[in-house]
Chains A and B, each alone.
Chain A
Amino acid sequence: MWELLARSLEASTVFLFAALGELVSQRAGTLNVGLEGLMLFGGTVAFIAARLTASYPAGLAAALAVGAVLGASHGFFSITLRGDQVVSGMGLWILSFGLTTYLGSPYTGPLGLPRMATLFGLSPFVYAGVALVVVSAVVLFRTGAGLAIRSVGENPLAAEASGIPVAATRYLCVIWGGLLAALAGAVYTLSYNPVWTYNFLMGWGFVSLALVFFSMWNPWILLAGASLFGLMWQLSLSPELVLPGVLSRYVWRTVPFAVTIPILVVISTPWFRSRWGLARPEALGRPYPAD
């Protein structure tokens, strides 16, 4: 049971890193629906770099570098060129899906390095993830920088009038989102499941994106949501631990996705929106200045 819990927490960390970066990016008004692509790219590059150099830090550094570049390119399209953020995000996703399949295929198979050291039986990324939640919550809700990020995402015109550089703030946040998404991919391929296969994520990025919406853009709720989905994901992989012999393993694999849809429906109802829906950044997905 401890094994299941430890694996669940590590799975949660993958969701958490990706969603936390996207949460900050969305708080500043930029939506990146291509989160899965950034994770795929980060994970693939980290895997290749770690395997070639036999070094985990090199893998992580490579992932962060590619995450920053992809985040900045999404920023260039959506902030500087004021393009449609969905087009850019979809572009990043399909670009990453296609290229990582090609780039990673010669490395298909296990990483071949000794497993990363654990701390009290858990991956160090689990602790880093929780620490990042604390830092994100403090920065977003208790500091001037957080106020600037939130105001840029709520009302960029007013933010600019009060002297906040809208474009620079959005760039920083979208690059931060790219960094954390790539890191999430790296945690997957270096620690959670260090075996490269084509399209290894199969929906983790989209579930992470949904988690941002579930979280009401609050890092603490996000931590709870990511933990729940981590556990659910792990159970869907090994249902025999809880319900041996009930339903096909393939049916269990649909559970995290099948649960996501009703949750999306509930948080979209007028009843829910009128009570808790106000946290949605008002200017999310809208270019600034508007056309």
Chain B
Amino acid sequence: MVGRYQITLQARQARSASSAALAALLAIVLALALASVLFVSSGSGVLAGYRVVFSYAFFNPHGAVATLHRAVYLLLCTYAFLLPLRAGLWNIGLPGQVYAGALAAFGVPAVLGMSREAAPGWPPGAVIGLMILAAAAAGAAVGSVAGVLRARLQVNEILVTMMLNSILFWLVSFMIKEGGPLMGATAEGESFTLPLLLRAPLAGGIPVTAALAAAGAVLIDPLLARTALGYRIRAFGENPQAARYGGISPLALSLLVFAAGGATAGLAGYHTFAAIPGVYKIPGNYGFYGDLSFYGLITALIARGSALAAVPIAVLLSGLSLGARFAQGMLRLPFGVDYALLGLLMMTFVASHILDRFRVVWRRTPAGVLQPAPGDSRG
């Protein structure tokens, strides 16, 4: 009770697209409001802090390009989480699938003896194509493990994907450090650098992988909404038992969404290590990119499973995470502002999820119902 008003939470019967959009917007704005505490605590003003973040991420020529590269990465990670999510499954194996994609992509030139320079007899375009295919296939293979185990034996996919994340994390270390097969010539705990001819083609400074992210944004929603396969995925996500009676094979479906999700995460691994100008290697701090993939998870959740809606969110979160890291250096904030933002976004997403499921009802209590308080002359 607040004065003469009674406040209750009522479950919504139907949720409109506008309320979903409002909840998404609210989640992001609230996270930014909470993150402003970080700027205040460091002694820099909130507005000054956000000016640094946004001006670097979206208006600085170097920052804007970096935002675009990161947005492609986040979008590919978003699809990797989104496709299984629509079938009711949680793919939190994004880091592991990203690492698998990266290892496979760098494995191709290593196996072909081209880790120092492109060898004659192999057209560079074909090798690049093979690298992209290998990355997608490796991500799909890692994802499929969780998909098969979930469908066949009901093994919890969250646990399986988390275990795979840890396994792949250490495998990358094995491959790129201390004499590993993909180690660079300088032995500084990172992989070899891709030879010039094997770097992903650029169009206006943007790698070819951006086209894959754009294709996903355009194709995934219609695929889910308008095709028989999309119907099966959604039906399985909403009611697996009923879907099974309807002739939908849980094994095939679970395998499909996890393989497709894993493939896009594998492509994200290719993109971030083999296609972004200035990188072209698996660096020693590769774990940071694995952590970053969880921004894809949040993007998919906030976008309510829509690939198209994920585009502006991914661009915004890419800019914010990059700008936050930049502001951290500029304003001498402690390490991890971008991580804190990730956490706050997750918290406000869960809060907005509640608001979307419920609505707050303010009801004025009729005056006669209220008992006059002692000394209350109005009663």
Task: Give the B-binding residues of A (Cβ under 8 A).
Answer: 33, 77, 81, 83, 86-88, 90-91, 94-99, 101-103, 105-106, 108, 198-199, 202-203, 206-207, 209-210, 213, 248, 250-251, 253-254, 257-258, 260-261, 264-265, 268-269, 291
C-alpha gap A210/B158 in the complex (Å): 10
- B-chain residues with CB within 8 Å of residue A257 when the two chains form the complex: 163-164, 166-167
Contacts A81-B9, A83-B353, A250-B177 hold; do A268 and B291 have CB atoms under 8 A apart? Answer: no
1/0 per position for B280-310, CB-CB distance to A under 8 A?
A: 0000000000010010011000000000000
Complex contact B149–A268 (CB within 8 A): yes
Residues of A contacting B180 with CB < 8 Å?
248, 250
Which residue on A lies nearest to B154, using beta carbons? A268
Q: Which residues of B come within 8 Å of A, CB atoms?
A: 9, 11, 38, 90, 92, 145, 149, 153-156, 158-160, 162-167, 169-171, 173-174, 177-178, 180, 291, 294, 297-298, 334-337, 339-344, 346-347, 349-350, 353-354, 357-358
Chain A positions within 8 Å of B170 at CB level: 250-251, 253-254
Q: Please, how many angstroms separate the alpha-carbon atoms of A88 and B334 in the complex?
A: 28
Q: Which residue of B lies closest to A106 (CB)?
A: B334
Contacts of B341 in A (CB 8 A): 98
B interface secondary structure, majority: helix
Cα distance A254–B173 in the bound complex, in angstroms: 11
Q: Which residues of B contact A254 (CB under 8 A)?
A: 166-167, 170-171
Chain B residues lying within 8 Å of A251, measured Cβ to Cβ, are 170-171, 174
Q: Which listed residue, B156, B294, B350, touches A88 by the CB 8 Å rule? A: B350
Closest 9 CB pairs of A and B: A98-B343, A102-B340, A101-B339, A250-B174, A102-B336, A91-B350, A268-B153, A101-B336, A94-B346
| Contact present for A94 and B156 (CB under 8 Å) | no
Which of A77, A98, A250 interacts with B339 by CB under 8 Å?
A98
**Which residues of chain A are within 8 angstroms of B90 by Cβ–Cβ distance?**
86, 90
Cα-based distance from A96 to B153 in the complex (angstroms): 31
> Once the chains bind, are A261 and B163 in contact (CB under 8 Å)?
yes
Q: Which of B11, B38, B357 contacts A102 (CB 8 A)?
A: B38
Given A98-B340, A99-B344, A203-B166, A250 contacting B173 (CB threshold 8 A)? yes
Contact: B339 with A102, CB < 8 Å? yes
- Apart from A210-B163, A253-B170: 14 A-B pairs, beta carbons within 8 A: A90-B346, A94-B294, A94-B297, A101-B339, A102-B339, A105-B334, A106-B334, A198-B335, A198-B339, A206-B158, A248-B178, A254-B166, A261-B160, A264-B155
CB A252 to nearest CB in B, in angstroms, measures 8
Interface centre among B297, B343, B347 (most CB of A within 10 A): B343
A94 to B335, CA, bound (A): 17
Cα separation A207 to B159 with both chains bound (whole Å) = 8
| A-B CB contact pairs (8 Å), 27 listed | A83-B353, A86-B90, A87-B353, A88-B350, A90-B90, A90-B158, A90-B346, A91-B346, A94-B294, A94-B298, A97-B291, A97-B339, A99-B340, A99-B343, A102-B337, A105-B335, A108-B335, A198-B335, A213-B159, A254-B166, A254-B171, A257-B166, A264-B155, A265-B153, A265-B155, A268-B153, A291-B11
Cβ-closest chain B residue relative to A247: B174
B159 touches A210 (CB 8 A): yes
B347 touches A95 (CB 8 A): yes
A-B pair number, CB within 8 angstroms: 139
Q: Which residues of A contact B297 (CB under 8 A)?
A: 90, 94
Tell me the nearest residue of chain B to A84, going by C-beta.
B353
Report chain A residues within 8 Å CB of B164: 257, 261
Chain A residues with Cβ below 8 Å from B11 are 291
* CB–CB B334/A102 < 8 A: yes
Determine the chain B residues whose CB is within 8 A of the CB of A269 once the complex forms: 153
Q: Does the CB pair A101–B340 fall under 8 Å?
A: yes
B354 touches A81 (CB 8 A): yes
User: How distant is the Cα of A264 from the Cα of B357 in the complex, in angstroms?
Assistant: 34
Cβ 8 A contact of A264, one of B9, B156, B354: B156
Contacts A77-B350, A251-B170 known; A206 to B343 CB distance under 8 Å?
A: no
> Inside 8 A of B178's CB, which chain A residues have their CB?
248, 250
| B341 shortest CB reach to chain A, Å | 7
- Chain B residues positioned under 8 Å from A248 (CB to CB): 174, 178, 180
Which residues from B are CB-within-8-Å of A106?
A: 334
A291 and B297 CA atoms in complex are apart in Å by 27
Is B343 within 8 A of A203, CB to CB?
Answer: no
CB < 8 Å neighbour of A265 from B149, B165, B334: B149
A278 to B160, CA, bound (A): 22
Expressed in whole angstroms, the Cα–Cα distance for A170 and B334 within the complex equals 38
Q: Do A209 and B159 form a contact, CB below 8 Å, given A88-B350, A105-B336?
A: yes
CA distance in complex: A253, B350 (Å): 33
Cα separation A88 to B349 with both chains bound (whole Å): 10
Contact of A77 among B169, B174, B346, B354 (CB under 8 A): B354
What's the Cα separation between A251 and B181 when bound, in Å? Answer: 13
Residues of B within 8 A of A77 (CB): 350, 354
Distance of A83 from chain B, by nearest CB (Å): 6
Residue contact B159 to A264, C-beta cutoff 8 Å: yes
A204 to nearest B CB, angstroms?
A: 10
Q: Which residue of A lies closest to B179 (CB)?
A: A248
Decide: B336 and A198 in contact? CB cutoff 8 A.
yes
* Nearest-Cβ distance from residue A9 to partner chain B, whole angstroms: 22
Are A101 and B335 in contact, CB atoms less than 8 angstroms apart?
A: yes
Task: Please pick, from A81, A99, A268, the residue contacting B155 in the complex, using a CB distance under 8 A.
Answer: A268
How far does the Cβ of A74 sit from chain B's closest Cβ, in whole Å?
10
Does the CB pair A83–B343 fall under 8 Å? no
Note all chain B residues with C-beta closer than 8 A to A97: 291, 294, 339, 342-343
* Complex: A86 Cα to B92 Cα, angstroms: 12
Q: For residue A182, give the distance in angstroms from its CB to the closest CB of chain B.
A: 16
In the bound assembly, the distance between CA atoms of A171 and B336 in angstroms comes to 33
Q: Is the CB of A94 within 8 A of B171?
A: no
If A253-B170, A257-B167, A264-B156 touch, does A91 touch B339 (CB 8 Å cutoff)? no
The distance in angstroms between the C-alpha atoms of A94 and B92, with both chains bound, is 11
Which of A87, A88, A199, A264 is within 8 Å of B160, CB to CB?
A264
